[in-house]
Amino acid sequence: MGEAQALAGHGARIFEFSPAVEVTYGETIKVRTPKGSVTARKLLWACDSFLNGLEPELHRSTINTYAFQCVTEPLPDALIERISPIRGAYSDIRPVIDYFRFTRENRLLFGSATPYIEHIPSDLKAWNRALMLKVFPYLQDVKIDLAWGGPMACSPNLFPQIGSLPGHGNVYFVQGYTGFGVTPSHIICKILAEGMAEGSPRYDLISSIRRSTVIGKDHARPLIVSAGKIWHQASGFANGRR
């Protein structure tokens, strides 16, 4: 919400509940919605896991997995001080990370994803709670107020993808943070903005990283994601990222 307010403060307009249903490229780009259209000289695809196949060139180079989060009931100051006196945001160093931080309401937000087999747990509260208690066993008596989950786009090399579409120099994209977006997204998008403006050496460098096609993603997504998780988790285990 803070980023949206800052963007609006610079003159941008945000239209919610206006899904793009068709995009026509050219010197002037047209994006059609169910009730209207928008034209512009430049376009940025920033849909990540919600691209829904609208741009085939980008659709083929990421695959969706699912992450799940929960928040506790508001915690007393003594527990907050024990967990994080600086109220920081944390994650571990495993390929499939656990991460946590405090909200303004003094709730602990804790999240992760299934470490090996891709599936959606039947009880998200219980699943997240079990992971949370492995890290914070002294929260045994704390209630989970809410749990939820959703998709995120993964790139084959686990590195975010930025650049412009082949043959369309005024059509840009950013996607594939692979669950590590909170920290790198700020610098990645600053570099992307440089590329969309006058260009920069670091934009040229990062946008030159080759994107690979994820073969079979539309028919065997859970199997492909599970294989990727097992491979990366085993590699992490062998290198001490346990």
Beta strands of 34-131 (E only): which ranges?
Answer: 36-40, 43-45, 63-72, 90-91, 99-102, 108-112
Q: Return the amino acid letter for 148.
A: W
- HEC letters along 209-227: CCCCCCCCHHHHHHHHHHH
Is the confidence at residue 50, as pLDDT, over 80? Answer: yes
The mean pLDDT of 226-242, rounded to a whole number, is 87
The answer to whether 216 touches 222, Cβ cutoff 8 Å, is no
Q: Report the C-alpha gap between 155 and 158 in whole angstroms.
A: 5
Assess if CATH 3.40.1010.10 describes domain 66-153. Answer: no
* pLDDT range class, residue 242, cuts 50, 70, 90: low
Supply the pTM of this predicted model: 0.89
CB atoms within 10 A of CB 88: 10
Q: What are the sequence ranges of the domains in the chain?
A: 66-153
Least confident of 58-67, 125-134, 227-236: 227-236
- What does each C-alpha distance from 180 to 6, 19, 67, 202, 229 come to in angstroms? 23, 26, 11, 20, 15
Q: What is the pLDDT of residues 67-90, one digit of tens each?
A: 999 999 999 999 999 999 999 999
Helix (H) or strand (E) holding 201: helix 201-207
The mean pLDDT of 133-151, rounded to a whole number, is 97
DSSP letter at 126 equals H
With the C-alpha atoms ordered 47, 50, 52, 57, is the resulting torsion angle positive or negative?
positive
Is the confidence at residue 190, as pLDDT, over 90? Answer: yes
SS3 51: coil
